[in-house]
Structure 1
Amino acid sequence: MTQALYTMDSETGRIAPAVDEEQARAWDRDNVMTTYARLPVTLVRGEGAKVWDAKGKEYLDFLAGIAVNGVGHCHPRVVRAIQEQAATLIHTSNLYLTEPQARLAAKLVSISDFERVFFCNSGAEANEAAIKIARKHGKKDGSATKFQIVTANRSFHGRTLATVTATAQPKYQTPFAPVVPGFSYVPFNDIEALRAVVNEDTCAVMLEPVQGEGGIYPAHKEFLQEARELCDKFGALLIFDEIQTGVGRSGKWWAYEHYGVTPDIMTLAKALGGGVPIGACLARGAAATTLVPGDHGSTFAGNPLAARAALAVLEAIEEEHLLANAYAMGAYFVHRLNEAPLRGKIKEIRALGLLIGVELVQPDARRVLTESLERGLIINAVGDNILRLLPPLVITKEDVDRAVEILSAVI
């Protein structure tokens, strides 16, 4: 007999997957490539800022799919949009126009400083598109040497061969060497180092306004301003990777708005689709018209299902005032973390909106992650000392208080 796929909770009336966790783990162990160090939890359902595992245990999710579930899990507006679109048209070739993709492009342009959008399926693909635009733009005057791209140490731009090269972390590059030529790196926020490397052969400078995977390090305003001035001086493009910082996480639509520095290209993914895979590369000026038919493309990019989901995400953020909530809850979270129970245990808190890094005095990040999970709080550890907190934009003060209570007990 075929196992039932769903069960209904008699008390709440909620439908949830009927999961044989032991069987699922066996399938995973025997059939999935070992590219992930799985934590001992099998998640089956989510709602808002909470998720539940196969045993029915509830967790407060302060990682949000690594900044993906910006409007929370299974937001009703997003769910409804996906259901309606799935019953209408899921996919067609990009040789044909679909209204959801066109409407999403118009929406993104209207809430940013950019003129055109290329859609893709992930953040790495968005950065690949940005790299290709920069390389082609560098050749517009016939130069054979203007292909150098400058990124920052401790950055993270993706896992394709080009984006792992842009990611200035040897641990990600060494297994796949030789990497793509034409990239150079500078210490983040080091203006003199940036000045020393950007020159007439530079086609782009690619930076994260806040380094996320690197440990939550916000850029200094002066550093981004200098990057803008150097790109203008040498005819290079300034690229901001906002895959983790964009779509409201900083308390504004885009983190660049906090700095008063507008790039030529901005890349997005993660929170844009609310969990449905979608990426976007936005450009302005000459960068917006560099690619022509045949230069670039993607089979699934901007398909109607993903586009409708992304539109629903943007509508939810606007109508529920989630930008203001992200900014306020981020400030409240930092305030609570600075209170007495954790004083002396935390070396530094680095934050912009709901992008929060907590650097511990002791190298306890892995232990804190594990014990927080046991107590019902999902967070992330970066290295031995840093906790990364990326809660949904929908969190409340009560959620923050509960998270701080668990962290205080564990730390």
Structure 2
Amino acid sequence: MSEVQTAAQLVEFEGLHNQELLARYNNSLMGVFGTPQRVLVRGTGCTVWDADGKEYLDLLGGIAVNALGHADPFLTGIVSSQLATLGHVSNFFTSPTQIGLAEKLLELAQAPSGSRVFFANSGTEANEAAFKLARRNAGTAQTPRTRIIALEGAFHGRTMGALALTAKQAYREPFEPLPGGVEHLPFGDPDALREAVDDTVAAVVLEPIQGEVGVRPLPPGYLKAAREITREAGALLILDEVQSGAGRTGNWFAFQGEVAGGEQIVPDAVTLAKGLGGGFPIGALITFGDEVSGLLAAGQHGTTFGGNPVATAAALATLHSLEARGLLQHAADVGAWLRGRLASVPGVVEVRGEGLLIGFDLDADFPAGIAPQVVQAALEAGFIINAPGPRTLRLAPPLILTRDQAARFLDALPALITTAAAAAGKDMP
């Protein structure tokens, strides 16, 4: 066993190619994801390679997860060192990395005294904790708070509480009845929010930038209005920053950036995951102030693996690197440049986002399924992107992406769109 150098050798996968491995995948894994596009075997920086040796520029970053790219030496060293020292202790105990990460997140969130952090293992688990936090804002016997407000287009996860907050009916319907009391309001309509929120509402749960519908930021002024409306009604304002947090938008949190319209928004709670661990699974719920932090008491929530020494060490290493290497400003600068260039590509009609969380739409004259066709053409050309909608493409690359790397994709994109349109039997509009 001491001679084994890689996990692939443990399962005797070395030398096998995509088709062989995908056949084994289909015979052994549950089909909830369908058949993967490729079998990826290694990566460095913004580049990955598949089992056939083909190289790809990763412009999706594991869906906004790999903030530092692949095989970052500092992150790899910290994780390896921590695992060699202390891997898991359960939450009967704590560790310096758990305490240090909680303190760092409270600092970055500019959270007031009395704020606290709960660690989970994923975004959906962080949102489950937020759902339970909302339930604890229960009101009084005379006026119980039984309602939770979310928005149309929202995606908060696939476990039952998070799924109740998620709007997409195709995700919800197979598992109904879901936890009750959740209502979905029209996206970005402060008047609808004002009309809906009263003293029967426990919480309003919002993504500052909706990711799964194609990177859709809340309109200017909406967050400020939501803060005022929830405060007046005594409801919690919970922000889901699972995809938009941890520097992705050029700020530590999207609620600190352009989507807040320059306003100083102080939420009651924020959830994080994805980029927080730089590729290592971790999620977090941050509660703001004594009153909100006291809503979940001892024994009312928990997790075996949440906040373990290795996950919190990975997150500390990620945040340290983002800060020390100036990657938030880098993400803001490269993202602004990339969005500006995308807007001039023939066939692209709208570009949205902040930092390196970017969505763009293709002309409505294309067939409805054009975006997945572009994803396939891009994969064949050596680029990994994503289609969250029939005409919408999403980019969420590592925050180390360079302009030269982005330019390679921009130079290729017109031909990719042309190829996709031809495959769909349609000329460029």
Same fold (TM over 0.5): yes
Q: Which residue is equivalent to 1:175?
A: 174
Give 2:271's aligned amino acid: T
Q: Aligned-pair distance for 1:318?
A: 0.5
Partner amino acid, structure 2, of 1:193: A
- 1:178, CA displacement in angstroms? 1.2
Q: Which segment drifts farther, 26-35 or 237-246? A: 26-35
Partner of 2:16: 20
Flag the 1:6–1:279 CA change in 2: closer, same or farther, 3 A.
Answer: closer
- State TM-score, norm by structure 1: 0.93
1:4/1:310 CA distance change after superposition, 3 Å: closer
Give the equivalent residue in structure 1 for 2:426. Answer: none
2:23 aligned counterpart, secondary structure: helix
Aligned to 2:29: 32
Partner of 2:427: none
Distance 2:322 2:89 in 1: 28
Q: Distance in 2 between matches of 1:5 and 1:305?
A: 21
Q: Verify: 1:150 aligned to 2:146, yes or no.
A: no
Write the distance in 2 (CA, Å) between the matches of 1:89 and 1:4: 22
- Among 271, 288, 293, which residue is 2:275 paired with? 271
* Structure 1 contact 5–18 (Cα < 8 Å) conserved: no
Distance change >3 Å, CA 19–CA 98, structure 1 → 2: farther
358, 361, 385: which one pairs with 1:379? 385
Partner of 1:12: none
The one-letter code of the counterpart of 2:125 is E
Distance 2:219 2:266 in 1: 14
Q: How big is each residue's C-alpha offset from its partner over 1:134-178, in whole Å with a ceiling of 9 and x where there is no partner?
A: 111234x44662021100001100001111110011111011111
Equivalent of residue 304 in structure 2, options 287, 299, 304: 299
Please give the alpha-carbon distance, in whole angstroms, between the structure 1 residues aligned to 2:343 and 2:93.
54
**What is the letter of the counterpart of residue 272 of structure 1?**
L
Q: How does 1:246-325 map to 2 (within 5 A)?
A: 246-258=245-257, 259=260, 260=263, 261-285=265-289, 286-325=291-330
Q: Is the 8 A contact 2:214 2:394 kept in 1?
A: yes
Kept after mapping to 2: 8 A contact 1:346/1:360: yes
- Counting only pairs closer than 5 Å after superposition, residues 137-216 of structure 1 correspond to structure 2 as 137-139=137-139, 141-142=140-141, 145-216=144-215
Measured after TM superposition, the shift of residue 63 of structure 1 is 0.4
Aligned residues of 1:377 and 1:406 also touching (Cα < 8 A): no
Q: 8 Å contact 2:209–2:216 — kept in the other structure? A: yes
The equivalent of 2:424 in structure 1 is none
- Does structure 1 conserve the Cα–Cα contact (< 8 Å) formed by 2:378 and 2:384? yes
1:111 paired residue number: 108
Q: Match of 1:56, as an amino acid?
A: G
Contact 2:117 2:287 in 1 (8 A): yes
**4+ runs of 1 displaced by more than 4 Å?**
3-7, 141-144
**1:264 touches 1:287 (CA, 8 Å); kept in 2?**
yes
SS at match of 1:74: coil
Q: C-alpha root-mean-square deviation of aligned residues, in Å? A: 1.9
Indicate how the Cα distance of structure 1 residues 19 and 246 shifts in structure 2: closer, same or farther if over 3 A, else same: farther
Tell me how many residue pairs correspond in the alignment: 398
Which amino acid letter does the alignment assign opposite residue 320 of structure 1? R
Distance in structure 1 (CA, Å) of the matches to 2:55 and 2:335: 23
Q: By how many angstroms is 1:118 displaced?
A: 0.2
In 2, the alpha carbon distance for the partners of 1:103 and 1:225 equals 31
Amino acid in the other structure paired with 1:338 = A
Q: In the alignment, residue 337 of structure 2 is paired with which amino acid?
A: Y
Q: 2:69 pairs with 63, 69, 72, which one?
A: 72
Question: Partner amino acid for 2:123?
Answer: G
- SS state of the match for residue 373, structure 1? helix
Asked if 1 retains the 8 angstrom alpha-carbon contact of 2:26 and 2:35, the reply is: no
Q: Structure 1, residues 284-326: CA drift from partner, whole Å, max 9, x if none?
A: 1211121111011000001001010000000100111000000
Query: Which amino acid is 1:91 matched to?
Result: H
- 1:134 is matched with 134
**Helix, strand or coil at the partner of 1:336:** helix
5+ residue gaps, structure 1, are 8-16
How many angstroms apart in 2 are the aligned matches of 1:66 and 1:236? 31
Distance 1:379 1:143, change over 3 A: farther
Equivalent in the alignment of 2:353: 351
Identity of aligned residues (%): 43
Q: Aligned to 2:85, what secondary structure does the other structure show?
A: coil
Q: In the aligned structure 1, how far is the partner of 2:26 from the partner of 2:86?
A: 35
| Counterpart position of 1:14 | none
Cα shift at 1:221: 2.6
CA contact (8 A) 2:90 2:304 kept: yes
Letter in 2 for 1:84: S
Is the Cα–Cα contact under 8 Å of residues 48 and 73 in structure 1 kept in the other structure? Answer: yes
Partner of 1:404 in structure 2? 410
> Residue 181 of structure 1: SS of its match in structure 2?
coil
Deviation at 1:6? 5.3
User: Match of 1:89?
Assistant: 86
Shift of 1:247: 0.4
Give the Cα separation in 2 of the matches to 1:19 and 1:270.
31
CA distance in 2, matches of 1:76, 1:184: 45
What amino acid maps onto 2:357 in structure 1? L
More moved, 297-306 vs 283-292: 283-292
In structure 1, distance between residues paired with 2:245 and 2:362: 26
Matched, 1:225 2:224: yes
Counterpart pick for 2:372 among 356, 359, 366: 366
Q: Please say if residues 244 and 357 of structure 2, whose CA atoms lie closer than 8 Å, have aligned partners that are also in contact.
A: yes
Provide the rounded CA distance (Å) in 1 between the counterparts of 2:407 and 2:152: 35
